[in-house]
A and B are shown apart, each in its own frame.
Chain A
Amino acid sequence: MAPRILRRSRPLLARAGQALAVAFIVVVITFLLVRITPGDPARGILGTRATTDAVAALRAQLHLNEPLWQQFTDYFGALLHGDLGNSVITPGRSVWSVVSSSFPVTLSVIVLTTAIATLTGIPIGLWAALSRRRGVDVGVRTAVSVSLATPPFLFGLVLVFVFALTLGVLPAGGWPGSWPQNFSYILLPSVALAGFLTPLVVRTVRQAALDVNDEEFVEAALARGLQSRTIVARHVLPNSLLPVVTVLGLNFAGLLGGAVVVEAVFNLPGIGTQLVQAVQQRDYTVIQGIALMTALVVVAVNLVVDLLYAVIDPRTRRRS
């Protein structure tokens, strides 16, 4: 029994090992990168007017004068105890409070973006693949290309102009901080980001549906006299979903990157906004904390995608 459990959990353990390795590499690289980048947090805190003596005194208070290896071992030691440290720029504010307050904002945008992209992209992709009118396919492919070529921030500005400034039905930006009010504040950012993700889903579903449509089992179903609607629902759609999961998983990190720009347009206090501010202020610990947590979330999402494969595709289950 025990060996069987071990065999089954081996892939998960391997994934956990990979996650730890990725986290360690991210910690080391981020730690070094922020310190070789020009800019001094002490000068950032005190401003340019402060005397050299004042800056030196603050650097000493912040332990920035200690050797790099010592700073790293101190940081890493705290990290092993689950302590991400405190913000260098905002005294007394823990990095965890920065991350834990901003990640939910970004994740809520990404979740809604994914929902919008999935709920609109799959039907549109199927429609493009299965429609007998050539104009539909050409039209969808053109729209996909245009949408992919439009930067999310530009799309976001258009959305603000139309829905906030002209129609006045949605807020131009901001974050009230409580649900369900938050929903109206993440709607436009999510639509803007979905402008990037939906075309990818459409394109993937369209191609997968075209491939599945040529399979012998679809022809067999047709020969058995099944209705088109049933064939699509039972055979084409399920077999087209696997690449969609792949696309969503692969683009999760891309959405995090896109959120940086969209958060700026809509003034959302998400992880992107926090990261940009931390970089601008050379807030070393916050940059490191956000990079580490982002890496862990991306690894976790990839793990979830792998598990979803097993649920959706029985072949994957059998292989594992």
Chain B
Amino acid sequence: MYVRIARALASGLGLCAALAVAAGCGGTQSSSTVSGPATVATVNVGIGTKVNSLDPNLFVNTTETSVLHLIGGTLFELRASGAVVPGLATSIEPSSDGLTQTAHLRAGLKFSDGTPLTAADVVATLERGIHNRANAYAGFYAPIASVTAPDATTVVFKLKRPFPSLRTVLGEPEFMVLPARSVDPAAGTAQKSVASDPISAGPYELVSWGGGPTVVLRRNPDYFGAKGRAATVRFVAIPDFNASASQLRTGQIDMSVLLPPSLAPSLAQTSGIHTVSASLYGFQNLFMSHKGLTADVNVRRAISLALDRGELVRTALYGKVKPLAGFWPSTTTGYDPGISTARDVAGAKRLLAGTPCAHGCSIELMYETDDQAWAEQAAVIVQSNLKDVGIDVKLVHLDQPTVITRLTGRKYDLCLYGNYDLANVPDGLIAYNLLPDGGLDAAFSGYDSPQMQQYAKQAVETTGAQQKAALRDIETQFAKDMPFVTFSDFVNLYATRLPDKVISMGRGGYVDVGRVGE
């Protein structure tokens, strides 16, 4: 389900392509490594969710994100390493006031069907996204006032506010370029074929899907850049984790992604398979509705202090991820390693004195295991941890749509969840988790702090030292208000028979195929 909420958080402040690959931004941990061919004919990827729509305004889950990442021609490109490299555009320059950015396209670009790709196609695609009222990514389009094309290779973005993350955000699939003939910019609509058989200009092109569980891609001969290390990529939906692991073991598939951490030990012992725990640009957390007991900030902070993050990570996440108590994950620029993740039961009890939980209270913890296999164990640990401070937790196991309905309606007390961003930029995590109008209603809590909004504005509109200061202020304000509780980085486990240079899943949480020569 992260796939929903998690993809949730695409964003953009462009600081950190370089930082993302630097050691300070955290990392992926391989349990073992394999050597193998530098290029392969076909890669079969087993993935838990099937494709429902390939419309760049509607895609949601990891499979859709991965497919669009590979077939989508974007102005800039994101790599699994976190790097942002030139794509259809070679460069983008901001104006001195930051309210205009001008991108320059390569010459001679073509869509995968061989037709020319010009700035007019970029304008039509992005204007369609701006005017599409049902655009799931409206939040990422919001800072863009208009897009124009003074000539065939120049695209001008007029912005409502400075948007330094734009370069990075333009590498995300929601900004993939479609032929102008397939969209209606003014109406914000697209032809039906855009959802089922989109044409774009990425390193791969769609061969077949048809609404079923299998999506087949092949190299796009008209792609401008280095070719992918696999000639054909097949995504096969395998909803059952164990079935996916079995098919990996028998060699029917080459990669199995979004596995529960509990499968890591056994897969790591299988010859020829290496497992990777990728820490994404996000966190696993405990949402709080701010209704009833959790309306009291001291109750929220006490819950944070009462959590045994070490046990949560060891038991529920098999030690594959870093514990976290602050807002910024260890993979992001704003991370503060000085924030203690230690449990403090006495401190929690002190905070609870004077609250409705001073002499014990009862609260409900909601979770789902459709996509969060770890949540069952985590829920029991949270229940046990909070019992130590006098909070009686009733566990409520629901299916995914019901959890979403209750989250968006704020009809819950606590909820185990997680969310992440596609790139190391603060915009997404801020918008969805800290701002009331960011899409998640500030992490399903109604959190609405003018002070936090001021820091958020500075964080997404500035760069360098100014931005770093804002990120620190956000962390401080987060600890003070505690709108929700984080307990670890967001982790994705995948296992593969192929070297990471051929296929991998980076911190953005999508499958990426390596490029020859990179």
Chain B residues within 8 Å of A168, by CB: 250
Total A-B Cβ pairs within 8 A: 150
Chain B residues within 8 Å of A173, by CB: 238, 243, 246-247, 252
Q: Give the CA-CA distance A92 to B60 in the complex, in Å.
A: 17
Q: Give the CA-CA distance A319 to B430 in the complex, in Å.
A: 77
Within 8 A of B (CB), among A19-75: 37-40, 43-51, 53-54, 57-58, 61
Q: At the interface, yes or no: B5 with Cβ under 8 Å from chain A? A: yes
Q: Judge whether A277 and B239 touch: CB under 8 Å.
A: yes
5 pairs of A and B residues whose beta carbons are closest in the complex: A39-B401, A49-B8, A93-B211, A57-B133, A172-B246
Chain B residues within 8 Å of A276, by CB: 239
Q: Judge whether B246 and A48 touch: CB under 8 Å.
A: no
**Which single member of A89, A93, A280 contacts B370 (CB below 8 Å)?**
A280
Chain B residues within 8 Å of A46, by CB: 58, 60, 134, 136
Q: Judge whether B52 and A38 touch: CB under 8 Å.
A: no
- Between-chain CB contacts (< 8 Å), 14 pairs: A37-B402, A38-B405, A43-B408, A49-B5, A50-B134, A50-B138, A91-B55, A165-B249, A172-B243, A172-B246, A277-B239, A279-B399, A280-B399, A281-B401
Q: At the interface, yes or no: B439 with Cβ under 8 Å from chain A? A: yes
Chain B residues within 8 Å of A266, by CB: 243
**A34 to nearest B CB, angstroms?**
11
Chain A residues within 8 Å of B137, by CB: 49
**A318 to nearest B CB, angstroms?**
50
Nearest A-chain residue to B50, judged by Cβ: A277
Q: Give the CA-CA distance A57 to B187 in the complex, in Å.
A: 13
Nearest B-chain residue to A283, judged by Cβ: B52
Q: Judge whether A45 and B53 touch: CB under 8 Å.
A: yes
Chain B residues within 8 Å of A165, by CB: 246, 249-250
Q: At the interface, yes or no: A203 with Cβ under 8 Å from chain B? A: no
**A62 to nearest B CB, angstroms?**
9
Q: Give the CA-CA distance A173 to B402 in the complex, in Å.
A: 30
**Which single member of B52, B406, B440 contacts A45 (CB below 8 Å)?**
B52
Q: Give the CA-CA distance A207 to B402 in the complex, in Å.
A: 47
Nearest B-chain residue to A168, judged by Cβ: B250
Q: At the interface, yes or no: B242 with Cβ under 8 Å from chain A? A: yes
Chain B residues within 8 Å of A50, by CB: 134, 136, 138, 439
Most buried by B among A87, A90, A98, A157: A90
Q: At the interface, yes or no: B192 with Cβ under 8 Å from chain A? A: yes
Chain A residues within 8 Å of B305, by CB: none
Q: Give the CA-CA distance A160 to B7 in the complex, in Å.
A: 34
Within 8 A of A (CB), among B243-271: 243-244, 246-247, 249-250, 252
Chain B residues within 8 Å of A279, by CB: 399
Q: Convert B289-304 into 0s and 1s, putting 1 for each residue whose CB lies closer than 8 angstroms to a CB of A.
A: 0000000000000000
Q: At the interface, yes or no: A269 with Cβ under 8 Å from chain B? A: yes
Q: Give the CA-CA distance A39 to B244 in the complex, in Å.
A: 27
Which A residues contact B (CB, under 8 angstroms)? 37-40, 43-51, 53-54, 57-58, 61, 87, 89-93, 97-98, 101, 157, 160, 164-165, 168, 171-174, 264-267, 269, 273, 276-277, 279-282
Chain B residues within 8 Å of A174, by CB: 236, 238, 247, 252
Q: Judge whether B252 and A98 touch: CB under 8 Å.
A: no
Q: Convert B182-220 into 0s and 1s, putting 1 for each residue whose CB lies closer than 8 angstroms to a CB of A.
A: 000000000010011000000000000001110000000
Q: At the interface, yes or no: B180 with Cβ under 8 Å from chain A? A: no
Chain B residues within 8 Å of A281, by CB: 52, 401
Q: Give the CA-CA distance A53 to B141 in the complex, in Å.
A: 14
Q: Give the CA-CA distance A93 to B54 in the complex, in Å.
A: 13
Q: Judge whether B192 and A171 touch: CB under 8 Å.
A: no
Q: Give the CA-CA distance A269 to B213 in the complex, in Å.
A: 7
**Which single member of B8, B50, B252, B405 contacts A47 (CB below 8 Å)?**
B8
Q: Give the CA-CA distance A38 to B366 in the complex, in Å.
A: 14
Q: At the interface, yes or no: B166 with Cβ under 8 Å from chain A? A: no
Q: At the interface, yes or no: B407 with Cβ under 8 Å from chain A? A: yes
Q: Give the CA-CA distance A110 to B489 in the complex, in Å.
A: 45
Nearest A-chain residue to B407, judged by Cβ: A48
**Which single member of A48, A61, A98, A273 contacts B239 (CB below 8 Å)?**
A273
Within 8 A of A (CB), among B364-407: 370, 399-402, 404-407
Q: Judge whether B401 and A54 touch: CB under 8 Å.
A: no
Q: Judge whether B136 and A54 touch: CB under 8 Å.
A: yes
Q: Give the CA-CA distance A277 to B212 in the complex, in Å.
A: 12
Instruction: With A47-B7, A277-B50 given, name 9 new contacts (CB 8 A).
Output: A43-B401, A49-B9, A50-B134, A57-B134, A91-B58, A91-B195, A172-B252, A267-B247, A277-B239
Q: Judge whether A87 and B60 touch: CB under 8 Å.
A: no
**B174 to nearest A CB, angstroms?**
11
Chain A residues within 8 Å of B249, by CB: 165, 172
Q: Judge whether B408 and A48 touch: CB under 8 Å.
A: yes
**Which single member of A47, A92, A269 contacts B192 (CB below 8 Å)?**
A92
Nearest A-chain residue to B371, judged by Cβ: A280
Q: Judge whether B211 and A47 touch: CB under 8 Å.
A: no
Q: At the interface, yes or no: B488 with Cβ under 8 Å from chain A? A: no
